[in-house]
Amino acid sequence: MSKLILTHEVTGLGTPGDVVDVKNGYARNYLIPQGFAVAWTRGGEKQIESIKAARSARELATLEEAQQLKARLEDTTVTLAVKAGAEGRLFGSVKTADVADAVAAAGLGQIDKRKIEIPTAIKAVGSHEATVRLRDDVAATISLTVVAAR
């Protein structure tokens, strides 16, 4: 088992600044090369504090603001125009960055692409859903309409 400090949020594992124990292969082959974690050391306590301070600065200030943004996101359908073939199949798939850009273009504010989760790959035009984790205790579901770009 390897002891790591998370530098990014990893779904199902933890949030930035958490100290986690994971299997050696998961740490060596995925978390550390992707930049999601660093090896834990005794001097790492200072690093944990700076990670948590940066996280709290990025996080929405209050629960009320998060609830208001959640209400706006869930009341609006966000439209994404992407390149598609004749039968509505996309060239590639919709990424979290595309969703974040579409939300910003719709005037709903800036959302960090790392907080967006797309449960199944979006590879066709139509209606889809994505989840945004606004805070640890607030998540919003966004309705997406994917249309073919002309």
Residues 29 and 81 in one domain: no
Residues 73 and 33 in one domain: no
Residues 30 and 104 in one domain: no
Go through the chain and tell me how many residues it has: 150
User: Sorting pLDDT into bands at 50, 70 and 90, what band is 29?
Assistant: very high
127 backbone dihedrals φ, ψ, rounded to 5°: -95, 135
CATH number at residue 92: 3.10.430.100
68-115 per-position pLDDT tens digit: 888 888 888 888 888 888 888 888 888 888 888 888 888 887 888 888
d(Cα 8, Cα 104) in Å, to the nearest integer?
A: 22
Residues 85 and 125 in one domain: yes
Residues 142 and 68 in one domain: yes
pTM: 0.62
144: domain range?
63-148
How many folded domains does the chain comprise? Answer: 2
**Is residue 120 pLDDT above 60, yes or no?**
yes
Residues 54 and 68 in one domain: no
Q: Do the Cβ atoms of 129 and 115 come closer than 8 Å?
A: no
- Burial string for 50-62 (b: 16+ CB within 10 Å, else e) reads ebeeeeeeebbee
Token pair of 51, please? 């990670």
User: Sorting pLDDT into bands at 50, 70 and 90, what band is 6?
Assistant: confident
Taking CA 128 as the corner, what is the angle to CA 142 and CA 138, rounded to the nearest 5 degrees? 25
